[in-house]
A and B are shown apart, each in its own frame.
Chain A
Amino acid sequence: MLTELETTLLGVMMMVIMLGMGASMTPRDFLIAFRKPKGILVGLLSQFAVMPFLGYMLAILLGLPPALVVGLLLIACMPGGTTSNIFAYFSKGVLALSIMMTTVSTLVAVVMVPLLLDFYGGLAGVPAESSIPPANVAQVLVVLLIPTIIGMVLRKFNPNVGATVELIGSFMGVVVIVFLVVTWVPRNYQLLLDTGATIYAATIGVGLIGMLFGYWVARALAQDTNRARTISLETGIQNGPLAVLVITLSFTGAMQQEVLLIPVLYSLFIVLTSTAITLWYRRSATREALARDAAKLGT
């Protein structure tokens, strides 16, 4: 489990990430994004309809115990993580769409995550004592909105500070994952060895299948391949550190340890899966661009 110091540190780092996210945008960006809202709406659909359902199905099919179900459902219901923007950038995706989806899903999460957890938790028969109080989730998210707003204000009044915060925030996304790896993995080495294949399947599957579904949902709703790839990454990459934070604030002791397992493992593995998928998407994007060029040539 995480010590109190680590939990506090994690909280502070999340604040910095959100500060950076706030500094990366202006109110006008929202107005512009919602002039052509289809991409974002498709993203929200795959984020809050497809992913939670997928998490639930995996939990049922793999027959996970209640504590792990809670962790898996929480991960599945989380909004997009800020690291998704870095992957969108490297996969030659639509960066603006990725940033907007992360932001909008984080805002919507305040309402949607408690509702979804309640609904799927009940459906999966999670006992009351191991479920996350919806108010906790809402509270954490609302608290995180404050640095987001501060970030937006900073950028407005001092572009130098805004841009600096934005950069630090995007680095922090990576730092948090590294932090989780170095603090959690060594202490839980034995646990990793003892963890069964089904848990690994759930952890890796929720991200990977999420990306697959995200892509096809977007394609089915007439998004072009480039936007579909962006939505795909955004769907599969959840805000793992946020899930970890919510859990540490809701549970203690052995229970915390158990619920944390899937979100922590997810945070580690999603980096690997996203890297692989990003490389693949990057190749597809390049190939499509070349094909477009070839079609245009000639007199």
Chain B
Amino acid sequence: MLTKTDTARPWLAAYGSEIAAELPERAHPSLAHLIAETTRSHAKRRAFTCVVPNGMNGMLRYDQVGAMSDAFASFLRHHCKLPRGARVAVQLPNGLAYPVAAFGVFKAGGVLVNTNPLYTPPEMIHQFRDSGAEVLVICDMFADKLAEVIPQTGIRHVVLAGVPEFFPRIPETIVRGVQKVWTRSLPPVPTLEVPVLRIRAALKIGRGLPKVEDWDQTGPEDLALLQYTGGTTGVAKGAMLTHGNILANLDQVKAMGGRHMTGEDCVLTALPLYHIFAFTANLMTFFALGARNILVPSPRPVQNIQRALENYPVTWVTGVNTLFNGLMNEEWFAAYPPKTLKAAIAGGTALHEAVAARWQAITGTRVAEGYGLTETAPLVSFNPLDQPVRVGSIGVPVPGTDVALVDDNAEPVAQGAPGELLVKGPQVMRGYWNRPEETEKTLQNGWVFTGDVAVMDEDGFLRIVDRKKDMVLVSGFNVYPNEVEDCLSKLDSVLEAAVIGIPDAGTGEAVRAYVVQNPDVTTQVSKEEVVAHCRKHLAAYKVPRSVIIRDELPKSPIGKILRKDLKAEVRDEFAGKA
């Protein structure tokens, strides 16, 4: 069945009249073409505004982004002698330098290697060596890591960019002064064997060099991104995403957004752009529309977002469960949610029912949950905006996408039964960079094995049950941590929760819950309360055997709760006891 191409698509009915069943023909051969065209047609419109916590900001228009990324492309090609297809690592928080650098890489025919700015030197070394990156664009706040990293990699040129890069002169000087003197977050730049330039200087050099002439040679089959993903185990590997993958996914996001997404929109980009969710949904999609991105360098603490939401007419917000939860726990947000908001897009991790319902109640707009993974650039499914809210559903597959649910033998499961979710479509990656074995395990006949267990309703709406490897096996019964976490998050005294399995002599595994006290509630959360609440709503075997109250939970850069870190703690804990 999986090799057949005529898979049934029961979800097409849910598209209604708003969403076209098939993707439109690709309008551009590559991202470079799209960027060149968009910066020309929307020249005088505002493309990116970066807002730091005190409200200081800088803005770039479309034509400025176009000219600056042209200059950066010239710098890469002629000054750094970067051949087509070579990799450029960009390790920046959200800011105006990010689109300039990333778009410059595409125009130079390079491959963008998105890198988390908070990576430790060993993580950086692994990613730069694995990808074979030749140029690194890094945030000056982390320049101190260069001395250790650069000699162990093939990087030949380093470009530094700051958080207030391209702000007007006075705010830039003030923010930099605060970073230097007050927060002491600007380390001295070490002396390196390779040349180090600030991005302004690189652009100046680039402007003096000829424009890259072969920018339009890039096609849909060429690599655009090496997007590293840790998965839940093993070392980080680079998903190879082509220009065609990203362009297809842009069209898929736009198709699902329909008439609700236009060039007049203003999207809050608080999630990091180096992550595929914000890269595609915010940076590329809204840019392609001619809309405006409000970039927030760091959404933690959530207070950092306040000025961005106060000062700009934000119509769309993308976020993860923890971000929505955090926003709603801020009085300034809950009491005066932005009036201009149209809808929010949730992804990255399961959106809890309680959070979705509260968001609707507070903002009067819906939060539409989508689902995706790095390997699919990322969007796979999304809730149609004109359909009634389907609680707990990740929506229907986006146009041009096929999905299948299979058992352990890769055989399709019966309708309504849980099975591993497989995805096929124009957004599916070409494989993992230099890892044929990993690729073979994940990608078969064009289908990506997601590792997520899902069920499909009759009309094609999908629900994620859980990660296959996070399932807890209690006396032979499957317990899905998501279900227990969802139950816990409905307790007022609980801010957030994580559930994992722990070894148990009697039942094989037992459920353990980690909960965080809700600071807005005066009643202290107690183990007894948690257990009693779960007993009321869950079958006995799903009720946590052990409850741990924590100040915070380990989280990924975009705010996903990391069960794997908790599992590692448990391994240590029980290894100690053995």
Which residues of A are interface residues toward B (Cβ below 8 A)? 26, 28-29, 31-32, 35, 155, 159-160, 162-164, 166-167, 293, 296-297, 299
Q: Indicate which residue in A35, A163, A293 contacts B55 across the interface (CB closer than 8 Å).
A: A163
Q: Indicate which residue in B51, B171, B517, B548 contacts A164 across the interface (CB closer than 8 Å).
A: B171
A159 to B546, CA, bound (A): 49
A167 to B181, CA, bound (A): 14
Tell me which residues across on chain A come within 8 A of B331, comparing CB atoms.
32, 35
The reply to whether B332 and A159 contact each other, CB–CB distance below 8 Å, is no
Tell me which residues across on chain B come within 8 A of A155, comparing CB atoms.
55
The reply to whether B548 and A31 contact each other, CB–CB distance below 8 Å, is no
**5 closest pairs, A vs B, by CB?**
A159-B55, A163-B54, A163-B55, A163-B56, A160-B171
**B57 CB–A CB distance under 8 Å:** yes
Q: Indicate which residue in A28, A31, A162, A296 contacts B551 across the interface (CB closer than 8 Å).
A: A296
Given A35-B331, A155-B55, A167-B174, residue A160 in contact with residue B311 (CB < 8 A): no
User: In the complex, which residue of chain A has the Cβ closest to the Cβ of B527?
Assistant: A299
The reply to whether A28 and B168 contact each other, CB–CB distance below 8 Å, is no
Tell me which residues across on chain B come within 8 A of A31, comparing CB atoms.
335-336
A167 to B54, CA, bound (A): 9
Tell me which residues across on chain A come within 8 A of B505, comparing CB atoms.
none
Tell me which residues across on chain B come within 8 A of A162, comparing CB atoms.
55
Q: List 26 A-B contacts (CB under 8 A).
A: A26-B310, A28-B310, A28-B332, A28-B336, A31-B335, A32-B332, A32-B336, A159-B56, A159-B307, A159-B311, A160-B55, A160-B56, A160-B57, A160-B168, A163-B54, A163-B55, A163-B174, A164-B170, A164-B174, A293-B551, A296-B549, A296-B550, A296-B551, A297-B549, A299-B547, A299-B548
The secondary structure that dominates the A interface is helix
Which residues of B are interface residues toward A (Cβ below 8 A)? 51, 54-57, 167-168, 170-171, 174, 307, 310-311, 331-332, 335-336, 517, 546-551
The reply to whether B55 and A32 contact each other, CB–CB distance below 8 Å, is no
User: In the complex, which residue of chain B has the Cβ closest to the Cβ of A36?
Assistant: B331
Tell me which residues across on chain B come within 8 A of A35, comparing CB atoms.
331, 335
User: In the complex, which residue of chain A has the Cβ closest to the Cβ of B522?
Assistant: A224
User: In the complex, which residue of chain B has the Cβ closest to the Cβ of A168?
Assistant: B174
How many residue pairs link A and B with beta carbons under 8 A? The number is: 49
User: In the complex, which residue of chain B has the Cβ closest to the Cβ of A295?
Assistant: B524
A163 to B168, CA, bound (A): 13
B561 to chain A, nearest CB (A): 18
B176 to chain A, nearest CB (A): 13
A129 to chain B, nearest CB (A): 48
Tell me which residues across on chain B come within 8 A of A160, comparing CB atoms.
55-57, 167-168, 170-171
A218 to chain B, nearest CB (A): 17
A152 to chain B, nearest CB (A): 12
The reply to whether A296 and B56 contact each other, CB–CB distance below 8 Å, is no
A36 to chain B, nearest CB (A): 8
User: In the complex, which residue of chain A has the Cβ closest to the Cβ of B307?
Assistant: A159
Tell me which residues across on chain A come within 8 A of B170, comparing CB atoms.
160, 164
Tell me which residues across on chain A come within 8 A of B57, comparing CB atoms.
159-160
Tell me which residues across on chain A come within 8 A of B547, comparing CB atoms.
299
The reply to whether A166 and B54 contact each other, CB–CB distance below 8 Å, is yes
A184 to chain B, nearest CB (A): 29
A162 to B171, CA, bound (A): 10
The reply to whether B549 and A163 contact each other, CB–CB distance below 8 Å, is no
User: In the complex, which residue of chain A has the Cβ closest to the Cβ of B52?
Assistant: A163
User: In the complex, which residue of chain A has the Cβ closest to the Cβ of B303?
Assistant: A96
A4 to B170, CA, bound (A): 33
Tell me which residues across on chain B come within 8 A of A159, comparing CB atoms.
51, 55-57, 307, 311
User: In the complex, which residue of chain A has the Cβ closest to the Cβ of B170?
Assistant: A164
A62 to B162, CA, bound (A): 58
The reply to whether B171 and A163 contact each other, CB–CB distance below 8 Å, is yes
A28 to B170, CA, bound (A): 27
